[in-house]
A and B are shown apart, each in its own frame.
Chain A
Amino acid sequence: MSAARTTVLLLLAACAPESAGVVHASGVTAYAPLPGKDTAVAYLTLHNDTADDVTVTGATSGEFAAVELHETRLVDGVSSMRELASVTVPAGEALAFEPGGRHLMLGRPSVPPEVGTRITLRLHATEGPILEVSATLEARGGVGGAIATDAVPAAAN
């Protein structure tokens, strides 16, 4: 897997004022849409180093008009996908968005979502934005693409 080219740009209030830690992200990886498609996908792991649970209620992007929290589920061998209203990262823990599980669906691009395009993602809580990260759209698998999918829990959606 090519290293995720990720920069945490901005870190805003993560939770209650008395919290000493921060919320940050690692492993941010975003894949450009496949040929003929306009939906990209992003994965990352959220780390909640604060003393309080943090609930992410949505996400936005400067390059995509529709960003949704989604989850692929595999039940009895059948996969399905559903939109998540929110996800909670417990205090002191991490929560992964990864292939075959939770992911950020990036739709309605406002710029050509080509490989190499730099994008920003903002995660929001009820109180407001909590985290902004950037990533570069990578080619997914296939010819010359990133091989980032070994041991992927393969449910489809």
Chain B
Amino acid sequence: MNTTRPLLAALFVVIGLAGGAWFLSKAVETAEPAHATVLPAPQPLPPFTLTDHRGEPLTRDNLADGWQVLFFGFTNCPDVCPATLTQLSVARRKLAERGVSPLPEILLISVDPERDSPAALADYVGHFGDGVRGATGTVPELRTLTAALGIHFEKEPADDDGDYGVNHSAAVLVIGPEARLNALFSAPHSIDAFVDDLPLLVSGR
């Protein structure tokens, strides 16, 4: 009985599988975020002190561990702030289902401290599920952080009813270990962009 052919066939199969695995591993190794802009060198956040939705201080040191996706907005914004937080919370849920670790925390920093008390923030962020934190501070405290991050915000004049809007940058910032800005997502946002890129960012690829 000729045993050479089966051996050769098995050898080709093994070589094929090994080659496929190698190409796959290279492909994964070289995967890069397709949507986010990654900073060439992570940028340390300046020291700052804000107050979170539980009334606890939020400082740079509090962000030293883990990953955060940071969005500047305000709770009286009826249109896109809730849309962005929804996108982020849905994306986070999908990443959790996929077992992505570490899961980034979602951080809403209100640029409307006049109306967004810790209690107001607590009501608001609670709507978006686990892993969402709200914070704000005085305008000078906020400026300390936003100036370093290139974030713009500006309160608009109030109307006759006292209502006003706040113009602000719409980017979602990705803060990594040691409280450093690693990457940012520019608007317009999508759930898919967060789901595609955040695993790559938090894994350090």
Q: Is B187 an interface residue (CB 8 A)?
A: yes
Tell which of A31, A147, A157 has the most Cβ of chain B within 10 Å. Answer: A157
Query: Judging by beta carbons under 8 Å apart, are A150 and B79 in contact?
Result: no
A156-B81 in contact given A77-B169, A77-B186 (Cβ < 8 Å) = yes
Query: Judging by beta carbons under 8 Å apart, are A39 and B78 in contact?
Result: yes
On chain B, the residues within 8 Å of A140 by CB distance are 82, 86
Q: Is B188 an interface residue (CB 8 A)?
A: yes
For the complex of A and B, 8 pairs with smallest distance between CB atoms = A141-B86, A153-B188, A36-B123, A80-B167, A154-B189, A35-B123, A154-B187, A142-B127
Option from B78, B168, B192 in Cβ contact (under 8 Å) with A150: B192
Q: Is A47 an interface residue (CB 8 A)?
A: no
Query: Judging by beta carbons under 8 Å apart, are B84 and A142 in contact?
Result: no
Query: Number of residue pairs across A and B with beta carbons under 8 Å?
Result: 144
**Interface window among B8-16, B26-34, B69-77, B97-105:** B69-77
A154-B127 in contact given A34-B75, A72-B80, A100-B79 (Cβ < 8 Å) = no
Whole-angstrom CA separation of A37 from B79 in the bound complex: 13
Query: Judging by beta carbons under 8 Å apart, are B129 and A100 in contact?
Result: no
Query: Judging by beta carbons under 8 Å apart, are B188 and A37 in contact?
Result: no
Query: Judging by beta carbons under 8 Å apart, are A143 and B80 in contact?
Result: no
Whole-angstrom CA separation of A73 from B90 in the bound complex: 24
Output the nearest chain B residue to A107 by Cβ-Cβ distance: B163
> Interface of chain A, helix or strand or loop or mixed?
loop
Tell which of A77, A79, A155 has the most Cβ of chain B within 10 Å. Answer: A79
* Complex interface residues of chain A between 54 and 77 (CB less than 8 A to chain B): 70, 72, 74, 77
- Please list the residues of chain A having a beta carbon within 8 angstroms of any beta carbon in chain B: 31, 33-37, 39-41, 70, 72, 74, 77-81, 99-100, 103, 105, 107, 140-143, 145, 147-157
Output the nearest chain A residue to B185 by Cβ-Cβ distance: A154
A157-B80 in contact given A77-B170, A79-B187, A141-B85 (Cβ < 8 Å) = yes
Option from A74, A99, A145 in Cβ contact (under 8 Å) with B170: A74
On chain A, the residues within 8 Å of B191 by CB distance are 147, 149-151
Query: Judging by beta carbons under 8 Å apart, are A154 and B78 in contact?
Result: no
CB B173 to nearest CB in A, in angstroms, measures 12
Whole-angstrom CA separation of A111 from B97 in the bound complex: 39
Additional 15 contacts, C-beta under 8 A, given A41-B79, A148-B86: A34-B124, A35-B127, A39-B78, A107-B163, A141-B86, A142-B85, A142-B127, A143-B128, A143-B129, A150-B90, A152-B188, A154-B83, A154-B189, A155-B188, A157-B77
On chain B, the residues within 8 Å of A33 by CB distance are 78
